[in-house]
Amino acid sequence: MAARGSRTPQRTRTEAERARLYAARAAWHAKILRRRRRDTVVAAVVGSIIVAGAIVSQAVHAQVTAPEPTPSRTSAPLDSPSPGSSPSAEPTPTGSVTPTQTPSE
Residue 35 domain flag: yes
Residue 94 domain flag: no
Residue 47 domain flag: yes
Residue 27 domain flag: yes
Q: What is the pLDDT of residues 22-31, one digit of tens each?
A: 999 999 999 9
Residue 45 domain flag: yes
Q: What percent of the residues of the chain are helix, what percent strand, and what percent coil, each to the nearest 5?
A: 55, 0, 45
Look up residue 98 and give its DSSP letter.
P
Residue 20 domain flag: yes
Residue 57 domain flag: yes
Residue 83 domain flag: no
pTM of the model: 0.48
Percentage, residues of the chain above pLDDT 90: 49
| φ, ψ for residue 27, nearest 5 deg | -65, -40
Number of domains into which the chain is organized: 1
Domain that holds residue 33: 9-64
